[in-house]
Chain A
Amino acid sequence: MIVCITARAAGTDAPVEERFGRAPYFVFVNTETGASESVQNPLVDAAGGVGPRAVQMLSEHGATAVITGQVGGNAGKALEAGGIKAYAYRGSGSVADALAGYTAGTLTPLALS
């Protein structure tokens, strides 16, 4: 499956970004193969309505789970509708650290609405 982690830079060593819609990068990791793809977020400076558009990006990349710090109301609704599960990571570690937490089952689900 494909998991998305919001990040401050590209790559799995990048620090995790707490915000969802305006995260500088989305890092998509294939949990079966371990391959990762970092996508720069075009919505960082967008005026508004960022949440729903960010969720569409996740859906386009086939993500079925996202790890981030917090999501707004509209993003939450879109994630729920898209069946994408959200998990909270608010530590100061890297994308790889967050992913390790997810795999170990230690991350708590994020309240979406």
Chain B
Amino acid sequence: MIRLAVVSGKGGTGKTMVAAALADVSGVPQVLADCDVDAANLSLLLDPRRVSTEEFRGLAAARIDLARCRDCGICADRCRFGAIVRRDDAWTVEALHCEGCGVCTYVCPMGAVSMEPRLCGEIYVSATALGDLAHARLFPGSGNSGLLVNEVKKRALARSAGKDLLLADGPPGIGCPLIATVGGMDAVLVVTEPGVSALHDLERLVTVCRRFEVRIVVAINRFDLAEDICRRIEDYCDREGITVAGKIPFDPAVVGAVRSGRPVTRTESPAAGALRALRDNLFSELGLP
């Protein structure tokens, strides 16, 4: 089974649109994962039917038992994250800032502080016409996005028996959730666009991905909006030995398809044609039929 993640570096380049399109025309048995747990959009294109919902508990947060608290304030003094504040004339933990380090629990002379698991999000599994989809929602301000990404991947892997492809829609950026997504993948498809920001972010992303043993392939979305910058991207890929497996033109059919809640490959349009060609080039690179 090939494990492929669709990533981008800069947000908004069209990752989710491309991932949904590839899933639509892949023609192989597959399982899907939406690893963009901050802003999970893949399900908006796949008409999912929810099969399961699980709670996700991340790093514990501190809690002060006011019955034992002597109001000495040592916990607030030692907390480096500004998470212990004065409210209603008592010391209280602001969960949004609590890093879960446990220092307050250690220093409290009254044993009034304890670390408790905190609900940070939910993990979902849904059935779609294109295969089972593992996805998640991270509650605002939560850390542990990397951990939640791993939980999503685990659920997808648990449903991967007999599949030829695990296709993951990845998060933007190069931080924890991206690293958690790329770990253990066989290949990443970087969806970029012809802009100076996107090229800059492409370079940073490639640096990070090179730390893993993954095949890196690029697709350029909306390539015709700035053909000179598109050429610069192609030159960069050429210098770095990275294959550009597809170039998708700007096409109003894409937004139309997103508005109808389906992959653009269900339409007859220039973008759909380019995405089918991307699928063929990409799969041939990866050894898929």
Contacts and interface: CB of A to CB of B under 8 A. Distances in A.
Contacts of A47: 58-60, 100, 144, 147
Interface in A26-48: 45, 47-48
B73 interface: no
Interface string A6-37: 00000000000000000000000000000000
A108 B60 CA distance: 38
Interface residues of B, number: 9
Interface of A: 45, 47-48
Contacts, number: 12
Could you tell me the dominant secondary structure of chain A's interface residues?
Answer: loop
B146 interface: yes
Contacts of A48: 59, 144, 146-147
Nearest to B100: A47
A47 B147 CA distance: 7
Interface in B51-94: 57-60
B181 to A, nearest CB: 15
A47 B58 CA distance: 6
Interface of B: 57-60, 100, 117, 144, 146-147
A48 B58 CA distance: 9
12 contacts: A45-B57, A45-B117, A47-B58, A47-B59, A47-B60, A47-B100, A47-B144, A47-B147, A48-B59, A48-B144, A48-B146, A48-B147
A113 B57 CA distance: 30
A52 B100 CA distance: 18
Nearest to A47: B59
A64 to B, nearest CB: 29
B142 to A, nearest CB: 11
B116 to A, nearest CB: 13
Given A47-B59, A47-B60, A47-B147, 4 more contacts: A45-B117, A47-B58, A48-B59, A48-B144
